[in-house]
Structure 1
Amino acid sequence: MVRGVLPVEGLAALYGPSGSGKSFLTLDLGAAIASGAGTWFGHRARQSSVTYVCLEGEQGMGKRIKAWSMHHGRPVPDSLQFVTQPFDLRKMDDVTDLANAIKAVGGAGGLVILDTLNRAAPGVDENSSVDMGRVIAAAKHLQSLTGGLVLLVHHTGKDANKGLRGHSSLHAALDGAIEVCQNDDCRTWRIAKSKDDETGCVRGFKLHALVIGVDEDGEDITSCVVLPEDVSEEVKRTAMPRGENQKIAVEVIDGLLRESQVYGQGGAPAGQQCVRLDDAIKAVTERVDADAKHRKQRAKESITSVVEKGIYGCKDGWLWRN
């Protein structure tokens, strides 16, 4: 759907903490794809129909659409359509009805956005492998009925460094993932997972406020639009490991951290997931590209490099995400 960012088909996620701007970014993404704008943040976008299932913050969606239209000087494209009625992924009738509705208006093979996963599966235990497995199966079934790409908008947990909230099986099932981050006034998104392209690419953005009307009391009605913004080289270096072995190290260590039940060891902040350095070296050794004789050394070198870049903290034989 977006070159180097999201595949044409499969299951993907866009996730971040509350207030990070992920729903504004999701609308901007959907509108770029539906309008055939050509690019999104410099990445070539494939023109396609988009179905936005808005299950959270739907009261504000009208204002966001109006702000987007005012900023771009044209209405939201007809090929971007919205669903605001309740929807439950775990109910096969709901999945079938949605798929049939999408196909009836020519949306097959396009992008389907479920915003948010929590509202699309109300009451599910996100930390349960069984419950998450059912949710994943239902999302994949929706994708199989409609073709194209299903994008799940999801939250991070209390500790955003742990990635997607809930059981790790969700991340494993994805064909692509975009992580949205906010640090003070700096907002970024990065490619957190891509099966066929490079991960780690970082793009900055800001939310630009617009006055879109006046209410009955004479007060301004405002909303926001997404504007690309350059991020510092320091942010790019921190988020983008160089070299294939460094990228492998980040992928392996992040996977270990998601599964870790150990917190706050070494110099890590309290509540921060940690892994033993020796365990990380062992796991990375199995993946790095090197001959058997030098594989362990290459693993150590790649881990040292990503620690020096500030991606991980390391002390007293423990690793954690910064």
Structure 2
Amino acid sequence: MVTKDTVNCIKQTYGTLQLSEGSAGFDIQQAWLIKQYIPSKAFGVIYGASGSYKSFAVLDMCCCLAANKTWNTQKVEGCAVVFIAAEGAVGIKRRIRAWEIAHKTNVNNLFVLDKSLSPSEPEERIKLVNAIFELEKQHSIKIGLIVFDTLSRCFIGDENTARDMGHFILGCETLIKTTTATVLCIHHSGKDQSKGCRGSSKLFADADFVFQLQRPAGTSLSVSLVNHKQKDDEPAKTLGMIFEKVTLGIYCDEGQPVSSLVRIDQALTDSPDNIPENTIVKVLSTIFDGSCNRSELRNAFFPKTTGNISARERTQFSRILKKALESGQITIKQISTKASDSDQISLVH
């Protein structure tokens, strides 16, 4: 089977240019870091409003790649990762440690830079490339992903102008060509979240893949990951991810335990068969302290910032609820003969 890595085999050199003829290469398959979600050797963006767990979600992907561990049942191409923690490394390190504790796995191939670095500046870009080559040589590894957290902290100029955004994107594309790694930027939503990520529309236009993290009000530990663009493949399924607190075994100066958030092992998709039986227990215990009404629980499973859930999602939720009730995991106190949003749902202790 032809892959992207063998694309040059179908090209011929004419003068100083390489050209392919006709449909040669139509059967080239997309290569992935995370199957159906993060492509290899690509430029992408994951964005969301402040507090939408952007770094937590991206670090979850990074840790799975570095540890060569399946991400949400999706196959990964294990690789080392460089994470540009332009907003501070202490919090990032604690999130990585929480992931290690939750998964009982050490993350050894995730390297964190604790300062901003702009890919649009040649001198800074060269420093990063040289560091990557040195890492690969010393540790006998391959850096497959470079993360900028956040784009704005690593950006020089006005992100609202196509010219400055173009310089940034060109710098990222140069990194991809030089290192053969995917570049992923964590970014913010605009004032109107329905209009996409902040800044020039050139960012969305030039990206190979774009995801949005949506966190609704009232569901403090749940978000949905929505794929708005997947240039060379079908859009990935929307995932509803639920996070839980993990204590790190250290204490603050006031003697209180320090904790961080970790995604529950499997995210929720639009297929009832993909949802583990104990998920409803985790949602009730983690987010709602054991009890909530039907509406609150449904919104935790299908988090949305605007609009209503679909008929298919309502059916899926009913199946999940019925399964948990029949297995004796929950009780439902209905306020009338018909199911109501105000019905109280509680864990059986």
Do these two structures clear the TM 0.5 threshold for a shared fold by scoring above it? Answer: yes
Given the alignment, which residue of 175, 178, 181 partners 2:214?
181
2:268 maps to which residue? 230
Q: Alignment identity in percent?
A: 29
Letter paired with 1:164: C
Going from structure 1 to structure 2, the CA distance change for 1:11 and 1:103 (only over 3 Å counts) comes to same
2:238 matched to 1:202?
yes
1:236 maps to which residue? none
State the distance in 1 between where 2:45 and 2:58 align. Answer: 10
3-state SS of paired residue (1:119):
helix
2:144 maps to which residue? 110
2:210 matched to 1:172?
no
Q: By how many angstroms is 1:208 displaced?
A: 0.7
Give the greater-gyration-radius structure (CA): 2
State the distance in 2 between where 1:139 and 1:232 align. Answer: 34
State the distance in 2 between where 1:79 and 1:138 align. Answer: 24
3-state SS of paired residue (1:167):
coil
Q: By how many angstroms is 1:82 displaced?
A: 1.0
Q: By how many angstroms is 1:139 displaced?
A: 1.1
Q: By how many angstroms is 1:74 displaced?
A: 2.4
3-state SS of paired residue (1:153):
strand
4+ residue stretches of structure 1 with deviation over 3 A?
none
Structure 1, unmatched stretches of 5+, are 234-307, 311-322
2:199 matched to 1:143?
no
State the distance in 1 between where 2:123 and 2:57 align. Answer: 30
Q: By how many angstroms is 1:19 displaced?
A: 0.4
State whether residues 98 and 260 of structure 2, in contact with CA within 8 Å, keep that contact through their aligned partners in structure 1. Answer: yes
Q: By how many angstroms is 1:309 displaced?
A: 6.7
3-state SS of paired residue (2:215):
strand
1:18 maps to which residue? 50
Q: By how many angstroms is 1:217 displaced?
A: 2.3
Given the alignment, which residue of 82, 86, 89 partners 2:112?
82
2:46 matched to 1:9?
no
State the distance in 2 between where 1:217 and 1:181 align. Answer: 33
Q: By how many angstroms is 1:133 displaced?
A: 0.9
Q: By how many angstroms is 1:216 displaced?
A: 3.2
Q: By how many angstroms is 1:90 displaced?
A: 2.7
Q: By how many angstroms is 1:85 displaced?
A: 2.8
1:129 maps to which residue? 162
- Comparing 224-233 with 107-116, which one deviates more in the overlay? 224-233
Going from structure 1 to structure 2, the CA distance change for 1:309 and 1:75 (only over 3 Å counts) comes to closer
3-state SS of paired residue (2:240):
strand
2:252 maps to which residue? 215
3-state SS of paired residue (2:223):
strand
State whether residues 13 and 178 of structure 1, in contact with CA within 8 Å, keep that contact through their aligned partners in structure 2. Answer: yes
State the distance in 1 between where 2:253 and 2:201 align. Answer: 48
Letter paired with 2:104: G
Q: By how many angstroms is 1:170 displaced?
A: 0.7
Q: By how many angstroms is 1:148 displaced?
A: 2.0
3-state SS of paired residue (2:100):
helix
For residues 156-208 of structure 1, what are the alpha-carbon distances to aligned partners after superposition, in whole Å with 9 as ceiling and x for unaligned? 11111111111111111111122111113141102221122211511111221
3-state SS of paired residue (1:164):
coil
Given the alignment, which residue of 191, 197, 203 partners 1:158?
191
State the distance in 1 between where 2:105 and 2:129 align. Answer: 29
State the distance in 1 between where 2:142 and 2:123 align. Answer: 18
2:101 matched to 1:70?
yes
For residues 62-85 of structure 1, what are the alpha-carbon distances to aligned partners after superposition, in whole Å with 9 as ceiling and x for unaligned? 211221111111222x22111113
Going from structure 1 to structure 2, the CA distance change for 1:160 and 1:200 (only over 3 Å counts) comes to farther
Normalization by structure 2: what TM-score?
0.63
State the distance in 1 between where 2:269 and 2:109 align. Answer: 32
State the distance in 2 between where 1:161 and 1:74 align. Answer: 38
Normalization by structure 1: what TM-score?
0.68
State the distance in 2 between where 1:232 and 1:33 align. Answer: 24
3-state SS of paired residue (1:140):
helix
State whether residues 21 and 207 of structure 1, in contact with CA within 8 Å, keep that contact through their aligned partners in structure 2. Answer: no
State the distance in 1 between where 2:245 and 2:228 align. Answer: 28
Letter paired with 1:161: S
Structure 2, unmatched stretches of 5+, are 1-32, 272-308, 312-349
For residues 261-284 of structure 1, what are the alpha-carbon distances to aligned partners after superposition, in whole Å with 9 as ceiling and x for unaligned? xxxxxxxxxxxxxxxxxxxxxxxx
State the distance in 2 between where 1:232 and 1:161 align. Answer: 22
Letter paired with 2:46: L
Letter paired with 2:84: V
